[in-house]
Amino acid sequence: MGLPPEHRHAVHRDEIDLLIESEEAPIALADAEPSDVDHAIAEHARSFIGDGATLQTGIGAVPSTIAALLAEGPGGGYGLHTEMFTTGCMRLHQAGKVTNDKALYPGVSVTTFAAGTAELYEWLDGNEEVVFLPVELVNTPELIARNEAMVTINAALAVDIHGQVVADTIAGAQYSGVGGHEDFVSGPGLSLNGRSLICLPSTYGTGDKRRSRIVPWFEAGTVITTPRHQVDVIVTEHGTAELMGKTIHQRGLALASVAHPDYRDELLAAAERASGGRSPLA
């Protein structure tokens, strides 16, 4: 569904050059099976979500697990303002947890595209509880900030002790699109009570090849997705690091506390070197 009269999801036939009919079903994305790490991250993230919060969630096991915890938990009265509408968002609706008593587009969940299971697509068809609006509206940080108690939940690949976030490249090579990541990280920062959560496991790999996702500094050529001054909270399975308003040294201490214990000493040393605006490099 759209939101008439301005966004009624209709195209005049004179605007169509070529129309191809198809019986192909939309691509179905099954929810990833959450790991113990995913559950731990979700539990930490949930502590920032109070009754009546307006939520944005991205794709992946952690957002899905957070949605499941909220659907099964005692809270509620949530609103939804999210670029991507997922199966987890549907579960929140089905559990009666979504009231959309929010300042911006009250009474409806707002999104710009959906990706999930076949059940999700069937549930969305003709469902007046959810409206699809242009991305230039849904992802505008100033509009996102108008939602009461906005809490955004996004993923990342790596973070350095300054709080810079890499979410779409690996070793400088493109891994995914930027999408609405920065929009929904910066939006809550424009409000008095919004929070932005960036969730990631503390490590990747296994055994001798295990590496920390929280690093003292990024190597030359690293492509930054989100700058440090927009980052609010980093969440790993070891806890939460609130970075907003902190010095680089304080950020390093906070991030070391949520890193894997095997890598905390080098992060603490880098944080000490970065005191007073100095470089964290050895």
Confidence (pTM): 0.93
Tell me the catalytic residues. 83
83: phi > 0 → left, psi -120 to 50 → alpha, else beta; which? alpha
**Among 270, 140, 150, 141, CA closest to 218:** 270
Please give the residue that has the higher pLDDT: either 203 or 4: 203
Distance between CA atoms of residues 177 and 170, nearest Å: 12
Residue type, 279: S
**DSSP E strands, the chain:** 54-57, 79-80, 84-85, 109-111, 113-114, 130-132, 150-155, 158-160, 165-166, 169-170, 173-174, 195-199, 203-204, 211-212, 214-215, 233-236, 239-242
**Burial group, residue 18, by CB count within 10 angstroms (0-12, 13-18, 19+):** exposed
At 151, is the pLDDT very low, low, confident or very high (cuts 50, 70, 90)? very high
Instruction: Dump pLDDT digits (tens) for 42-59.
Output: 999 999 999 999 999 988
CB half-sphere exposure, 103, CA atoms < 13 A: 10
Is a pLDDT exceeding 90 seen at residue 2? yes
CATH number of 26-277: 3.40.1080.20
The full length of the chain comes to 282
Give me the pLDDT at residue 83, please. Answer: 96
Give me the pLDDT at residue 22, please. Answer: 95
**Among 90, 89, 231, CA closest to 154:** 231
Is a pLDDT exceeding 90 seen at residue 254? yes
| pLDDT > 90: percent of the chain | 80
Query: Phi and psi at residue 173, in whole multiples of 5°?
Result: -95, 140
* Cβ neighbours of 79 (radius 10 Å): 26
Tokens of 223: 């492509």
